[in-house]
Amino acid sequence: MMEKMIFGRYIPVDSPLHKMDSRAKLLTIIIFIAIVFFANNVITYSLLGLFTLLAILSSNIPIKFLFNGLKFLFWIILFTFLLHIFFTKEGDIIFKLGFITIYEYGLRQAIFISLRFFFLILVTSLLTLTTTPIEITDGIESLLKPLKKVKFPVHELALMMSIALRFIPTLMDETDKIMKAQMARGVDFSEGSLKERASAVVPLLIPLFINAFKRAEELATAMEARGYRGGEGRTKYRLLKWGKIDTIVMLLLLLVTVLLILFRS
């Protein structure tokens, strides 16, 4: 199941979206999330749909692959769809069968809210699919830079993020190893009541935590030995480049926003 799930993974293919600056992508997503809520009629929703479709097409990620990977999220959409359709009681009745009554406004609302979800999930997952974690970190650091003026520790946050990202696979491996080691000693992780399962996690969590502390200490020593003294006076190896495509995307997004505001009813 884990192999099929693509939410939060990075797919290295060559595409215009992959080449975009991570700052532009982050900004696009923030703005997109905001304007999704402006849409309230057919024209505005099709506008958003067009934008989403364009984004997917320019990511060069096979649509089938994308939908397969996001399958489990569509269940959530279906759930909200059903909630809306059955519990909104406004407008004309369009369908009635036994205790099920569907109202016109309910159907409308259900379709629109689901579409909203659908667009949001697609666009946000495109971010992680086309951007490496380190690029996202760099982008966030760069976008948060103005906050330095109010003494927000931007560099520290970015460093913590990149170290956290770098250690995810290492800690996953370790979890797996500890789990197998404890299973070899007779700990059962997959059976028993809720309480038994919860207590089975203890021999997994404690060594994991202790090891994490040890790792942190060793890493700090190694960083210090390599001359790390905090954010002051550091240069950056990674370079963010704002290209033509980034400007085009931002302009396109601006156009969509303006049209959305104009056409919303």
Partner 1 sequence: MVKEIVQFKDVSFKYEKGAPYALDHVNFSVYEGEWLAIVGHNGSGKSTIAKLMNGLIFPQAGSISVDGREIAEETVWDVRDMVGMVFQNPDNQFVGTTVQDDVAFGLENHGIPREDMVARVHDSLKKVKMNEFLDQEPHHLSGGQKQRVAIASVLALRPKIIILDEATSMLDPRGRSEVLDTVRELKSNNNLTIISITHDLEEAVKADRLLVMNRGTVYREGTPSDIFLMDEELMKLGLDIPFTQKLIKRMREQGFHVPEEILQEDKLVDYVWRLTQEI
| Contact residues: partner 1, CB under 8 A | 132-134, 162-163, 165-166, 169-170, 173, 214-215, 218-219, 221-229, 233-239
Following DSSP, what letter does each residue of 39-86 receive, concatenated? --SHHHHHHHHHHHHHHHHTTT--HHHHHHHTHHHHHHHHHHHHHHHH
| In the complex, least distance from residue 79 CB atom to partner 1, rounded to whole angstroms | 36
Q: Which residues partner with 97 through β-bridges? A: 100
- Closer of 19 and 96 to partner 1 (Cβ): 19
| In the complex, least distance from residue 58 CB atom to partner 1, rounded to whole angstroms | 23
- Closer of 14 and 92 to partner 1 (Cβ): 14
- Closer of 83 and 219 to partner 1 (Cβ): 219
Angle in degrees, 0-180, between the axes of helices 42-57 and 22-36, rounded to the nearest 10: 160
Tokens (6 digits) for 65:
């692959």
| In the complex, least distance from residue 232 CB atom to partner 1, rounded to whole angstroms | 9
Cβ count near 92 (within 10 Å): 7
Residue 221 CA to residue 110 CA, distance in Å, equals: 55
| In the complex, least distance from residue 50 CB atom to partner 1, rounded to whole angstroms | 35
With residue 126 as reference, give the H or E element that holds it. Answer: helix 104-130
> Is the C-alpha dihedral spanning 170, 154, 141, 2 positive or negative?
positive
- Closer of 210 and 254 to partner 1 (Cβ): 210
| In the complex, least distance from residue 9 CB atom to partner 1, rounded to whole angstroms | 13
- Closer of 149 and 226 to partner 1 (Cβ): 226
